[in-house]
Amino acid sequence: MRLTDLPLRQPAYVDLIDWNALSASDGQRLREFGLCEGASVEALHHGGLLGRGPIACKVGRMTVAMRRNHAAAITVRTGPTEEEDA
Amino acid sequence: MTGLPLIALVGNPNAGKSALFNALTGARQKLGNYPGVTVERKAGRFSLSDGRPIELVDLPGTYSLNPTSPDEQVTRDVILGKQQGERLPDALVVVVDASNLDNHLRFALELIALGLPTVVALNMVDLATRDGLELDAAILSRELGVPVISTVAVRKRGLDHLRTELESMLDGSAGKVRASTDQLDFDGLRKEARRIARAAIVRETPSRRMTAAVDRVLLHPVAGFVILLALLFVMFQAVFSWAAAPADMMEGWVTALGETVTAILPPGILHDFLLQGVVGGVGAVVVFLPQILILFFFILMLEATGYMARAAFLMDALMARVGLSGRAFIPLLSSFACAVPGIMATRTIADSKDRLTTILIAPLMTCSARLPVYGLIIAAFIPARSVGPGIGLQGLVLFLLYVAGIVGAMVAAWALRLTVTKGQSGGFLMEMPKYQWPRPQDIVIGLWQRAIIFLKRAGTIILMTNIILWVLASFPQAPAGMRQSEYSIAGRIAGGIHVLVEPIGFNRDISLALLPSMAAREVAVSAIATVYAIDAGDDEDAMNRTLGERLQGRWSLATALAFLAWFVFAPQCISTIAVTRRETNGWKWPMFMIGYLFALAYAAAGLTYWTAVALGLG
């Protein structure tokens, strides 16, 4: 499922990132935040009064915020966090 | 510059670099600019244990040596020895956050690979312990191949250790830097960082993370929003209520200084000049120092605790509606203090149209230079009574003026996004730092620097403008029966302006203040003070009344309100215009900004005046 559909506070890991859906600089920033295939993620908060705001999620030990269009480019898988070889 | 050994502090944003910098250098800091770019250079001095002085420079935080903004470019260029106006550092102190090792070590590895003498400061160890992490600095040091020192910026022991390490490093071989880091592969570094981090973490007890618990409340879609608004409201109330006592005290000093001038100097032109032009004018601005410091106190606290990023998160959905990035919220919030650093802070916005829109609306945020103007008018015309428990009417009016600026900015952003900065909106990508208690020392240093900047402004740009104004307003001498402020050169210029602004309720006093306050908004206050002092001349009664009391006698409430509305929008600040020109590389956008803001100011003042008159307040 996409990161946008991940229920809050359910540990998951990144399955696939559609880098082509992101601009080069946004892609670089996400990578610098530690987002990569295999990274552990957990959605923590949905922002915005009407729920259409950004998503705050935990990536490794960091908390990062991103808009839904970025989160939609990230496919995640729940289940036991298979300790990433990454 | 100096021949001292140079050490650069470098690391990720939120690694606690500035706190470490403050702890090492204390008050011995110097703010400047790198030549050719508008990036701030923050340098300071400290001594090694043998007394040798060292120059320490705090480089802008960045996630890698692959820059995406001018700030990050400076960090890269300094470290590679390519930055104009800066020598190659003799050593690097790489600051990493102990509780975010995986991520910060990747950048640390990138820096170590450059080959400069390097020490790693394993910072914020206390916060890592709080989160249940136990680390072994010795393992880390062995794996990285450079000394690693555990530091907590408030504790002396780690700092002493860091000094000793730097000392032996500087005694060693001089640094050479490898020309390029391009061959380093990002994924390889990431994997290596991860491996080292795992080796260095000796124990990890799952503990209740304070940040996550607090975020549940502060980032709650409803509660979080209410708290944000309440915080801003308290901030603006405090600006008025806390500042009252110190401001009265300073006003007392200014009056006493004026009396001293009168006592020492014989009546004459020098006496008038000092009393009216210098003490009266500059003094009228300086008494607002407490209010400005209270405002900065709140902004520094919001930044230091980590709340600022949460505010940006909460605001992003709203910002997106007017086509802005949530990132724009931080420059805009800084613009409440001053639009100049606010506009410079827009460099963290990657999308060029997002950035331009943010620059164009930044001057609408109520900067601290408006406080003297708002403060004077509100104190003179708005009764100090309570309109509810803990809510004063004066504070409420001030809050509404801030809201007017924000609403104006949002509407302007929306309109600009549909017209001159049309295009796809950029994104919002941001790290949310851990919450932490601000170190009192950091807040004090921050406030001290702001106070110095404000007093320097009062002593230079405001003083100069005021001296020129005094001369223009004092000559030629008016014959008996004529008002000096109308007969003088300044009065005649004001007469010309008056024709334009009379329809929106502005009197001659205001017309006279508008031109000099192009230099800086506070000048409006000092200009009015100077002109009244000249008009009062030797009339003791008039001299003994405060500026506010004199205004009450000369302005109607409708005029006062129109004046407030004007200042919400008017782009009266040379520094803002200059920084806009620099940041947009030309005159096109600053001219556009001046034009649209004056048009808005005129319309807002006019609407306020006509409405107030219709309500019988004229």
Domain architecture of chain A: domains with CATH: 3-73 (2.30.30.90)
B131-155 as b/e: b if 16+ CB within 10 A: bebebebeebbebbebbbbbbbbbe
In this predicted model, what pLDDT tens digit does every residue of B27-60 receive, in sequence order?
Answer: 778 877 777 666 778 899 988 877 889 999 999 9
Does ipTM surpass 0.85 in this model?
yes
The pLDDT value given to residue B544: 66
> Chain B 70-109, CB below 8 Å of chain A: which residues?
99-103
The pLDDT value given to residue B408: 94
The pLDDT value given to residue A81: 52
CA–CA distance, B182 with B113 (Å, rounded to integer): 11
The pLDDT value given to residue B409: 94
Helices (DSSP H) in B176-222: which residue ranges?
186-200, 210-218
Q: From the candidates A3, A44, A63, A66, which should be mutated to test the interface with B, based on the most B CB atoms within 10 A?
A: A63
The pLDDT value given to residue B177: 57
**Which residues does residue B11 pair with via DSSP β-bridges, in sequence order?**
B95
Comparing CA positions, the residue from B65, B47, B54, B52 lying closest to residue B10 is B65
- pLDDT for residue A19 is more than 80: yes
CA–CA distance, A40 with A9 (Å, rounded to integer): 12
- Contact between residue B149 and residue B162 where contact means Cβ atoms under 8 Å apart: yes
- Contact between residue B7 and residue B57 where contact means Cβ atoms under 8 Å apart: yes
Q: Where residue A86 falls among pLDDT bands split at 50, 70, 90?
A: very low
The pLDDT value given to residue B176: 56
Token readout for B560 is 């006062």
Residues in chain B: 618
Token readout for B307 is 């709340």
- C-alpha distances in Å from residue A24, one per residue of A37, B270, B349: 17, 65, 14
- C-alpha distances in Å from residue B347, one per residue of B353, B440, B451, B580: 12, 29, 25, 12
Amino acid in the structure at residue B481:
G
Write out chain B residues lying below 8 Å of A55, CB-based.
none
In this predicted model, what pLDDT tens digit does every residue of B418-462 receive, in sequence order?
Answer: 998 887 766 788 899 988 888 898 899 888 887 887 788 777 777
Query: Is there a contact between B326 and A49 if contact means CB atoms under 8 Å apart?
Result: no
Write out chain A residues lying below 8 Å of B212, CB-based.
44
Q: At what angle do helices B137-144 and B186-200 cross, to 10 degrees?
A: 150
The pLDDT value given to residue B182: 55
Pick the residue with more confidence: B26 or A32? A32
CA–CA distance, B359 with B342 (Å, rounded to integer): 8
The pLDDT value given to residue B250: 86
The pLDDT value given to residue B137: 92
> How far A49 CA sits from the closest chain B CA (Å)?
5
Token readout for B443 is 């807040």
The pLDDT value given to residue B486: 78
Token readout for B197 is 């981090």
CA–CA distance, B113 with B105 (Å, rounded to integer): 12
Q: Where are the domains of chain B?
A: 6-207
Which residues of A fall below an 8 Å CB-CB distance to B? 23, 25-26, 28-34, 36, 44-54, 56, 60-67, 69-70, 86
Q: Are strands A40-46 and A12-17 parallel, antiparallel or unpaired?
A: antiparallel
CATH for B6-207? 3.40.50.300
* Mean pLDDT within A61-75: 92
| Helix, strand and coil percent figures for chain B, each rounded to 5 | 65, 10, 30
CA B456, B461, B467: angle at the middle one, nearest 5?
Answer: 120
The pLDDT value given to residue B530: 81
CA–CA distance, B10 with B80 (Å, rounded to integer): 12
- pLDDT for residue A85 is more than 50: no
Query: Is there a contact between A30 and B429 if contact means CB atoms under 8 Å apart?
Result: yes
Q: Which residue has the tokens 């601000």?
A: B438
Comparing CA positions, the residue from B553, B564, B551, B557 lying closest to residue B601 is B564
Task: Please tell me the number of Cα atoms within 13 Å of A2 on its side-chain side.
Answer: 11
CA–CA distance, B349 with B584 (Å, rounded to integer): 14
Which residues in chain B land under pLDDT 70? 1-2, 36-38, 173-184, 207-208, 240, 350, 425-426, 538-544
Token readout for B261 is 């001038």
The pLDDT value given to residue B405: 93
The pLDDT value given to residue B543: 64
- C-alpha distances in Å from residue B573, one per residue of B326, B519, B522, B531: 26, 5, 9, 21
Write out chain B residues lying below 8 Å of A46, CB-based.
221
DSSP state of A7: P
